[in-house]
Amino acid sequence: MPVPAEQTPTGTILVKTQENHLDCVVYARVSSNDQKPDLDRIVARIVEAVTLKGLRVSKTGAYFCSGLNGHRPKLKRLLSDSSVKIIAVEHKDRLRRFGYEYIESALQSQGRHLIVIDKSGIKNDLVEDMISVLTSFCARLYGRRAAKNKTKKALEVIKNGSDTQP
């Protein structure tokens, strides 16, 4: 048979569901290093939830990076690894703030799955999308302002440094 099965002494064939034999990779992310205690608790909650679903955790990944930053080499490596069949996250925005549905669809087309442990935060997608967009704009605005201020300070140091030289 193309799936795991077992024949009982009476001749009945019991087909075992694949989910019970699949390994799961846990992906957890927080935005900053000061949230490290939260990260450990998030990983523990995800591991507990997937274990209750009958899955084995083969690997956990816990990362510190902004949800607005699209440059996540470890996530890219995880998504491109075709041996990873199931990825579990606590909330969908922990994987990607934008484009979660595209990642989910791409993985499904390869026979792979995303498991979201806590779906309670997903109440009103339109409101969630607006919050995400506003957060992104604010981060860009404040990020530019911070970069502008750092540049201004660096130029002042260069200017003051050159004035004090003989």
**pLDDT averaged per 10 residues, the chain (length 166):** 72 64 82 81 90 88 70 84 91 79 90 87 61 69 68 73 54
The domain of 140 spans 123-166
Domain of 73, CATH number, reads 3.40.50.1390
**Residue 83 covered by a domain:** yes
Residues 63 and 101 in one domain: yes
* 53/102 same-domain check: yes
The active-site residue out of 31, 58, 132, 136 is 31
- Cα 111 to Cα 18, 28, 102, 107, distances in angstroms: 12, 22, 14, 6
What pLDDT is attached to residue 23?
A: 84
26 domain-assigned: yes
User: Which parts of the chain are beta strand (E)?
Assistant: 5-7, 13-15, 23-30, 56-64, 86-89, 113-116
Same domain, 163 and 86: no
Question: Do 158 and 86 share a structural domain?
Answer: no
- Based on the fold, state whether residues 137 and 162 are members of the same structural domain: yes
State pTM to two decimals: 0.61
Considering the domain architecture, whether residues 145 and 164 belong to the same structural domain is answered as: yes
Phi-psi category of 11—alpha, beta or left, where left has phi over 0 and alpha has psi -120 to 50?
left
> Is 24 in the same domain as 54?
yes
Could you tell me if 50 and 85 are in contact, meaning their C-beta atoms sit under 8 angstroms apart?
A: no
Residues 132 and 96 in one domain: no
The pLDDT value recorded for residue 124 is 57
The encoded tokens of residue 143 equal: 């990020």
pLDDT given for residue 126 in this prediction:
61
Residues 6+ apart with CB under 8 A from 82: 110, 112
Q: Is residue 112 located within the same domain as residue 127?
A: no
User: Are 140 and 92 in a shared domain?
Assistant: no
Residue 32 known to be catalytic: no
Q: Count up the domains in the chain and report the number.
A: 2
